[in-house]
């Protein structure tokens, strides 16, 4: 139960804290038509220290795959005015076929047990930025 309490606290601070901060500042930024959000991700989040990992003592690997857009039905589910068109345009211009994403997943999973591919930034070749 202690571990669950720690997770709850981490979510409250690391996720909800960021969202609450954005929610507090956003009306002011919108009113003044400017602003700048800075979110921080510690290097320590990429390095596992003693007692800092849930899975490592059990040799369980973890991978985060960050795609720009994968050819799925997601654009059809976006209903927010203005956002739906932007998402549809992004997907039209840059969506990567789902089988390419699947090969990326397969790559991470097919590594030998002693190799842990933690992060993959997955972008279309034609994307300029």
H helices present in 11-97, as ranges: 17-32, 74-77, 83-94
Specify the DSSP class assigned to residue 65: E
Question: Is residue 117 within 8 Å of residue 63, measured between CB atoms?
Answer: yes
pLDDT at 37: 82
The predicted-structure confidence for 96-122, as pLDDT tens digits, reads as follows 999 999 999 999 999 998 888 888 888
Regarding pTM above 0.75, the answer is no
Torsion angles phi and psi, residue 84, rounded to 5: -60, -45
Domains in the chain: boundaries: 1-40, 48-129
pLDDT at 60: 80
The predicted-structure confidence for 10-67, as pLDDT tens digits, reads as follows 889 888 988 999 999 999 999 998 888 877 666 666 666 666 666 767 788 888 888 8
pLDDT at 9: 87
Question: Is residue 74 within 8 Å of residue 95, measured between CB atoms?
Answer: no
Question: Is residue 71 within 8 Å of residue 96, measured between CB atoms?
Answer: yes
pLDDT at 40: 67
57-62, long-range: CB < 8 A, 24+ apart: 59/113, 61/108, 61/111, 61/113, 61/116, 61/117, 62/116, 62/118
Q: Indicate the pLDDT class of residue 84, thresholds 50, 70 and 90.
A: very high
């Amino acid at each position: 139960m202690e571990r669950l309490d720690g997770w709850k606290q981490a979510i409250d601070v690391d996720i909800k804290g960021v969202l609450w901060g954005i929610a507090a500042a956003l009306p002011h930024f919108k009113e003044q038509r400017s602003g700048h959000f800075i979110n921080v991700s510690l290097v320590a989040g990429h390095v596992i220290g003693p007692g800092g990992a849930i899975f490592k003592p059990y040799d369980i690997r973890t991978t985060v795959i960050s795609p720009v857009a994968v050819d799925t039905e997601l654009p059809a589910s976006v209903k927010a005015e203005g956002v739906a068109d932007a998402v549809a345009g992004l997907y039209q211009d840059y969506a990567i076929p789902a089988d390419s994403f699947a090969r990326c997943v397969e790559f991470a999973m097919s590594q030998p047990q002693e190799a842990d591919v933690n992060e993959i930034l997955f972008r279309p070749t034609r994307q300029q930025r």
